[in-house]
Chains A and B, each alone.
Chain A
Amino acid sequence: MHRSFIVFSLGCISLLAGCSQELPGTGSPTTAPVADVRIDCNANDDEFFSSKVWPILRECSSCHVEGGVAVNQGARFIVAPGNASASQGLLRDFITLAGDRLVNKPTLYQVSHGGGHLFDTDSPEAATLAEAVLRYSQSAPQCSEDESPVAEQPGYRDVSLISRTRTLRKAAIMLGSELPDTSTLNDVRDDDNALREQLNALMQGPNFEAWLKSGANDRLLSRKYLDGMSEAQETLGGTYYEALYERTGEAFASADAAATACGSDLDADTSECALARDERQRANLIYQETQRALAEEPLELIRHVVTNDLPYREVLTADYRMMNPFTYEVLDGASWQGSYDPLDPTDWRPGQIRRYRVAWGVSLQARTGRDYLPSAGILSSPVFLARFPSTETNRNRARARWTYQFFLGVDIERLAVRAMDPEELKRVTNPGAEGSSCFGCHSLLDPVAATFQNWGNDGHFLDRQGYDALPPSYIGSEHYQPDDRWYRQQLPAGFNQQTMPTIAPYGPVNGHDDGLRWLAGQIVTDDRFATGTVQFWFKGLLGREPLLQPLEPSDPNYSADLEAWQAEQTLIRELGQHFRDNNESLKSLLVEMMMSPLFRSERFDQASNARREALRELGIGQLLTPEQLDRKLTAVLGQSWKLDWQQRGQLLENYYLFYGGIDSDGITERPQYLNSMMVSVTERMANELACELVFQEFWPGMPRTLFPMVEITTDPTTEAGEAAIRTNLQHLMWRLWGTTEPAEVDAAWALYKALYEQRLSWDEPTPYLSQVAIWSGPDADPNEDEYCPVRDRDSNDGVAISLNWDGITNSDWVAASNGNPEPVRAHLGSFYNPEQTLRPWVGVLVYLLTDIQFLTE
């Protein structure tokens, strides 16, 4: 050992220097240094580092320090001399960046090293560094299956939960985060508070924000004006939003002028035509981003409130509207301080709708004295009001209905699920008048509807010339009195038995900027706002609605359903109380929801069929939406499933509706289970991804995300090879499935081996990762095709991937025919695999990617 350290120290002059990507020479050891490595679960990361790794690495500090020789030559691995803790952090960073190069370099395994050979691939030092790679790699497999805690909440005590580590992993995937690393998983393993802290830490960044908006849209459906058949600009209209088309119009006029200057051939190689193309692109961008900004405005408000840790009530009480430059310029133009990039769609800030007129030629200011429209968060959002429009007879009841549903968790239509009195149905024309059974629900609904009084059927503020939002037919009726804002025959505006203060009966609100602002203030202080918020986020987080109260005692499952519903209601109330106690922090609420059996349930210790049926939507098994699956691919594989020219993954483009996407218009419900089309999508996804991933990961110099424990030479017929493959399978299954049950590792190993042996049973199996008959001459058999996309997905990752057929010499082929594939592989990389070890990984990856536990969480 001592001699090893001396050699090692000398070698540190250039240890790990640079980023050598050359393929291995013929002198490279053939046994992978990580072939048979396991984590010592008796030591935690700190103990492992200080007792085993630090003694090796501190010898490097003469070279691998800031300003040291190795670092000056480009080495990315740096040690903090005398500081084990800092060095451990630096080591983690390096492993994240370079993976097993930490051990391949000093062992000269498949890469060159200026410091030469320091120790053998089967030495204890190599084993230690290999274990470090394993431990510090992102989402390395666990030492053992953690215990499954039993739920403590009343009504769920027969349910076992997924472990804390698995809960964190699941949360990361559901919220679009990266997978937690081993250290983080170890931190939460035995500690609920640590788990809460880490869950909270997941809630930041663009993926979380995308999840947040997607979850909110599943309720509010405002993306109808982005993805559906109605465009946002057309819906809002230029009559009231006077400048709505101003910027777009100017941009298209400019594009048209440039096109005229260019002439008939827009593709011509002239400066005028280049300008015309740019102008056209700019105009399209302005139109599309304006549309997006309008459609997503209420979703952006939620994002703004949550990511700035504001009390959630602000989604209703906000006295501002969220805008980005595309909407700011056409709706406001005066509120923002400081400069902005007019083409930056990510620059969202509060603003006001100032550029509004109550009729052609009549400005808001001139008629009402107001500088801008009043705001009551989502309630006054133009697209929210448009998405839930009204009519002269509906009189805002639909808006009131959705307000109850979204923000109070009350489904008015379910308050009386029964046959109605047929005579009343025919006779009653004003259900808000006392004396009929209709009044029960309408006494709740109609006063809230009246608080929307200033907003017309299409959502425009005081759309009758700025005087009110009443229809002409009512104005001409005997009931109307001057300065009224609401129908005299209807219940006056109010909420929860509180009447909205008005200047005069049925007149404008008194003491508040708008009826909706008064309403928002009432709602957020109502107890049901907290439980309503819990229920609002059920769909986005848990993929389902809250359980419905069972109504038919004669139903065979009634008792079990009732028990389940009551338990869930209790839990919802507790979650609501937590929300209130924590300054209405949505993040804190989401953390508690993810800690609960709603999110974590995995097993029933003893449950009758009725009990299981009653809890049929509880816990794991939640089908990922296409949005979530797309993000999961990136999290666990390191890449999305998309074509080169696509901005977004195929799950969000070609296959979005097939895979359960919504257009927020006619298609608003997501399927709970896979159907055959969706299964086909997953099979295509796996087929298109698997071989490419294998090809890239095994290419020399590429970081290993999925296959850190095996090499192209790992021989499945040897004991060490099998051990390495099994360890890697465990790693893969943790990443993709979240479980590492021994029986499943056994099954995956059996598949790998069967695929491997099958290949050996073929006559002359192809030594290449891809074989296509139509490219291989007339004798090739199409039945033996195995297509693999071979490409350099990321040309900027510092590792060039290309097949150099011309560089292969006859002697290289001779060497290959004599059992040494390395000379040929030096030119073809992982494309050349006469050992037949990679294609079985392709099959295993397809198996894992199409499994129900990959597609659900």
Chain B
Amino acid sequence: MDRRDLLKALFAAGLAPALAPFARAETMRYEGPIYITVFAEGGWDVTSLCDPKNGQRLNPASGESVWINHWAEAGESIASTANGLRYAPFADNERLFQTLGSKMMVINGIDTQTNAHNAGVRHTFSGRFADGYPAQTALAAAKHGAGLPLAFLSNGGYRETAGLTQFTLMQDPSTLNNLINPNEPNGIDSHYHRADSLDLIAAARQSRLDRLMGQHQLTQRLSDAARFMDSSRAGRDQLAALNDFLPETLAPATDADGRWHPILRQIQLALVSAAAGLTVSADLVQWGFDTHANHDNSQSIALSQLSDGLIYLWQEAADMDQRFGTNLASRLRVVVASDFGRTPWYNDGDGKDHWPLGSAILMRDGGFAQHTVGGTSDDVEALSLNADLSLNADPQAADQSRIIRPAHLQQLLRYWANVENYNSTFPLETGSLDLRSLLG
């Protein structure tokens, strides 16, 4: 059988038209901004981070005036970076802010309006309390990553996709090699199938998926499963690009004290995938912020690990740029946020409970024109923004409609990620406050 006959046979079998998508998929490579959300899981204490408080306030439980933070009680002072970012003298903050402060914009005083974890996470990362809205990272992957095999990496946190895309959990790179080249046997320089046989199988698969997706009476579940398989398979061949960037050594999974510290490895794999042009967005998670007891010690560990991760993120991106000639650092768009904040007082167990006001930190190479937006009162209560987005420092005069809420954060992030085309499907209630001009 010559090639002509073969194609005729393919055509007769309904296989030939499906060959085109594979050719299309092979040419894709994402070179745009990389959107990274770092989730500080459990509710971080921003009064010991980027919204530092060194005073006292009323503890409503005891009715007494108490120190908001022990470090302030010990007489330590709030520090600041050259560009005016204020930070608490706590954990590894100095290294974090002095290293990365120039890349940051801190948004303080975000009122999540809840102190329940699930509601706080959902609200912060989707912009509303009700279910169903996708995360910004999912939207970015859906819009910019069609056809990419690893468009949206997720290690946990809020990863609702609303059916627009699917997430991937990246794990052990030693096994990753087997997945990059599934046609190659382990330990033998060979392959399972000849290329032209694989072509026939691939064409038959595609034809089959097309038939399945064309059966509109089937359950949505099977249709969606077929659709996601279709898009995943179309981009699968591009996984080979990972080979060029796989690290020789893995980032450690424990910190210097032997504690579990997985965020470095999450970052490393996300950057590898981004360098290969396969990833648009990634969710990273730093666990350990829900510090109802022994707050200073536990929160300090979590914050230090978070700082460690953020510094590693930028350093590793720069190193890879140098090694591989990639352009990662200038493409990173990072946001760090949490469920909410923590009470501006300690409980009986020296812990801190949930507090609705929190912060977010945005980072990009070159930084922002404005380094701090919003804020809270000395008592850590909500403050509103003026028309020019400056802070109205009088809590008594706070305009409720101009207090920063998660919807405003998400509006900003959607704008940043150029995914505002989804706003009509997933509208945000932002009222008159609009932070988008902060991005310049």
Residues of A within 8 A of B (CB): 229, 391-394, 413-414, 417-420, 422, 425-430, 457, 471, 473-474, 477, 548, 550-552, 554-556, 601-605, 607, 612-613, 615-623, 654-655, 657-658, 666-667, 669, 671-681, 683-684, 687-688, 690-691, 743-744, 747-748, 750-751, 753-755, 757-758, 760-761, 772-774, 782-789, 839, 842-843, 846-847, 850-853, 855-856
Show 12 A/B contacts (Cβ-Cβ < 8 Å), sorted by A: A413-B116, A418-B129, A426-B60, A552-B128, A623-B225, A658-B179, A673-B229, A676-B235, A681-B179, A755-B197, A757-B5, A773-B190
Q: Give the distance in Å from the alpha carbon of A755 to the alpha carbon of B220 in the complex.
A: 33
C-alpha spacing A688/B184, complex, angstroms: 9
Inter-chain contact A758/B200, CB cutoff 8 Å: yes
The 6 closest A-B pairs by CB, nearest first: A676-B149, A621-B222, A750-B13, A621-B221, A392-B349, A761-B1
Nearest-CB distance from A668 to chain B (Å)?
8
Q: B232 on the interface (CB 8 Å rule)? A: yes
Residues of A within 8 A of B175 (CB): 654-655, 658
Identify the closest chain A residue to B117 (Cβ): A413
Q: Which of B118, B132, B193, B221 contacts A618 (CB 8 A)?
A: B221
Interface residue from A601, A616, A787 paired with B188 (Cβ < 8 Å): A787
Given the interface contacts A671-B167, A852-B225, does A477 sit within 8 Å of B149 by beta carbon? no
In the complex, are the beta carbons of A677 and B179 less than 8 A apart?
Answer: yes
Residues on A with beta carbons closer than 8 Å to the beta carbon of B381:
426
A393-B347, A417-B129 known; A618 vs B220 contact (CB < 8 Å): yes
Of A419, A422, A473, A690, the residue contacting B348 (CB under 8 A) is: A473
The winner among A427, A430, A666 for most chain B CB atoms within 10 A is A666
How many Å from the CB of A148 to the closest CB on chain B? 11
In contact, B114 and A419 (Cβ under 8 angstroms): yes
A residues near B304, Cβ cutoff 8 Å:
none
CB distance from B47 to the nearest CB of A (A): 14
Is B389 in the interface zone, CB < 8 Å from A?
Answer: no
Chain B hits for A690, CB < 8 A: 192
Query: Is B224 in contact with A616, judged by CB distance below 8 angstroms?
Result: yes
Q: Which B residues touch A552, using CB under 8 A?
A: 128, 130, 132
Q: Which among B156, B179, B382 is the interface contact of A422 at CB below 8 angstroms?
A: B382
In Å, the complex CA distance between A672 and B224 comes to: 10
Q: Are A843 and B347 in contact (CB under 8 A)?
A: no
B226 engages A666 (CB within 8 Å): no
Interface membership of B247, Cβ < 8 A: no
Measured CA separation A477–B61 after assembly (Å): 13
Q: Are B149 and A601 in contact (CB under 8 A)?
A: no
Q: How far is the CB of B197 from chain A (nearest CB, A)?
A: 6
CB pair B349–A620 under 8 Å, yes or no, is no
- A753 contacts across to B, CB distance below 8 A: 9, 13
> Could you tell me if A229 and B235 are in contact, using CB atoms closer than 8 angstroms?
no
Q: A679-B236, A843-B197 are in contact. Are A425 and B115 (CB under 8 A)?
A: yes
Which residues of the other chain, B, contact A679 by a CB distance below 8 angstroms? 229, 232-233, 236
In whole Å, how far is B357's beta carbon from the nearest beta carbon of chain A?
9
Using A618-B220, A761-B6 as known contacts, say yes or no to A676 and B292 having CB atoms under 8 A apart: no
Contact of A847 among B168, B201, B285 (CB under 8 A): B201
Q: Mark B1-22, 1 if CB is under 8 A from A, else 0.
A: 1100110011011110000000
Q: How many angstroms between the C-alpha atoms of A750 and B203 in the bound complex?
A: 11
In the bound complex, CA of A846 to CA of B205 (Å): 10
A658 partner residues in chain B, CB cutoff 8 A: 169, 171-172, 175, 179
Whether B219 lies near A603 (C-beta < 8 A) is yes
The answer to whether B225 and A843 touch across the interface, beta carbons within 8 angstroms, is no
State in angstroms the CA–CA spacing of A774 and B190 once bound together.
Answer: 8
Q: Kindly list chain A residues whose C-beta atoms are within 8 Å of the C-beta of B427.
A: 554
Cβ contact within 8 Å between A675 and B166: yes
Cα(A785)–Cα(B184), bound, Å: 10
Q: Of residues 164 to 211 in B, which have CB atoms within 8 Å of A's CB atoms?
A: 166-172, 175, 178-180, 182-183, 185, 188-197, 200-201, 204-205, 207-209, 211
> Besides A419-B129, A677-B168, A683-B236, 20 other CB < 8 A contacts?
A392-B351, A393-B347, A422-B113, A426-B355, A612-B220, A613-B220, A617-B221, A621-B224, A666-B287, A669-B156, A671-B166, A672-B166, A683-B183, A684-B182, A691-B192, A750-B9, A761-B6, A772-B188, A774-B189, A782-B189
Q: What's the minimum C-beta distance from A683 to chain B, rounded to whole angstroms?
A: 4
Q: Is A548 in contact with B131, judged by CB distance below 8 angstroms?
A: yes
Which B residues are in CB contact (< 8 Å) with A473? Answer: 348-349
CB distance from B112 to the nearest CB of A (A): 9
Q: Is the CB of B156 within 8 A of A680?
A: no
- A162–B207 Cα distance when bound, in Å, is 24
Size bracket, chain B contacts: 35 or more
Main secondary structure of the interface of B (DSSP, over half): loop
A840 to chain B: closest residue by CB? B197
CB pair A786 B13 closer than 8 Å? no
Q: Which residues of B contact A744 (CB under 8 A)?
A: 208, 211
- Closest residue to A561 on the B side, CB-wise? B132
* Contact call A754/B221, Cβ cutoff below 8 A: no
Residues of B contacting A748 in the complex (Cβ-Cβ under 8 angstroms): 204
CB distance from B267 to the nearest CB of A (A): 15
* B211 pairs with A673, CB closer than 8 A: no
Task: Known A602-B219, A754-B15, A786-B192; judge A420-B113 contact (CB<8 A).
Answer: yes
- Complex Cα–Cα for A619 and B427 (A): 30
Q: Is the CB of B222 within 8 A of A620?
A: yes
In the complex, A792→B114 CA distance in Å? Answer: 62
> B223 at the A/B interface (Cβ < 8 Å)?
yes
| A783 and B195 contact, CB distance less than 8 A | yes
User: Is B303 at the interface (CB under 8 A from chain A)?
Assistant: no
Contact in complex: B348, A393 (CB < 8 Å): yes
Q: Does B82 contact A (CB under 8 A)?
A: no
Given A419-B114, A601-B219, A783-B195, also A673-B236 (CB < 8 A): no
Contacts of B285 in A (CB 8 A): 666
For A418, the chain B residues whose CB sits under 8 A away are 129
Least Cβ distance of B131 to chain A in Å? 5
- Give Cα A123 to B217, complex, Å: 45
**A757 CA to B197 CA in the complex, in Å?**
11
How long is the Cα–Cα vector from A657 to B262 in the complex, in angstroms? Answer: 15
Partner of B205, one of A417, A617, A654, A847: A847
Check: B296 CB closer than 8 A to any chain A CB: no
**Cβ-neighbour of B221 out of A616, A671, A782 (below 8 A):** A616
Complex-state Cα separation, A550 to B128, whole angstroms: 13
Are B1 and A757 touching (Cβ within 8 A)?
A: yes
- Name the CB-closest residue of A to B347: A393
Contacts of B219 in A (CB 8 A): 601-604, 615, 618-621
List the B side residues contacting A684 at CB < 8 Å.
178-179, 182
Contact of A751 (CB < 8 Å), options: B118, B191, B204: B204
- In the bound complex, what is the Cα–Cα distance between A604 and B209 (angstroms)? 19
With beta carbons under 8 angstroms apart, the residue of B117, B159, B207 that contacts A747 is: B207
Max chain B C-beta neighbours (<10 A), residue from A414, A428, A658? A658
A261 to chain B, nearest CB (A): 32
A473 vs B172: C-alpha distance in the bound complex, in angstroms?
Answer: 45
Please tell me if the beta carbons of A391 and B293 are within 8 angstroms of each other in the complex: yes
B260 at the interface (CB under 8 A from A): yes
B349 touches A391 (CB 8 A): yes
Note all chain A residues with C-beta closer than 8 A to B113. Answer: 419-420, 422, 425
CB distance from A608 to the nearest CB of B (A): 11
Please report the C-alpha to C-alpha distance between residue A620 and residue B218 in the assembled complex, in whole angstroms. Answer: 9
Which residue of chain B has its CB nearest to the CB of A787? B190
Measured CB to CB, the nearest residue on chain B to A622 is B221
CB pair B292–A393 under 8 Å, yes or no, is yes
Whole-angstrom distance between the alpha carbons of A851 and B209 in the complex? 8
Q: A497 vs B202: C-alpha distance in the bound complex, in angstroms?
A: 62
With CB as the reference atom, state the residue of chain A lying closest to B292.
A391
B292 lies within 8 A of A394 (CB) = yes
- Among residues of B, the one whose C-beta sits closest to the C-beta of A457 is B293
Residues in B227-281 with C-beta less than 8 Å from chain A: 228-229, 232-233, 235-236, 239, 260, 262
Q: Whose C-beta in chain A lies nearest to the C-beta of B254?
A: A229
* Complex contact A680–B222 (CB within 8 A): no
Residues of B81-110 at the interface with A, using a CB-CB cut-off of 8 Å, are none
Q: Could you tell me the distance between the alpha carbons of A394 and B183 in the complex, rounded to whole angstroms?
A: 53
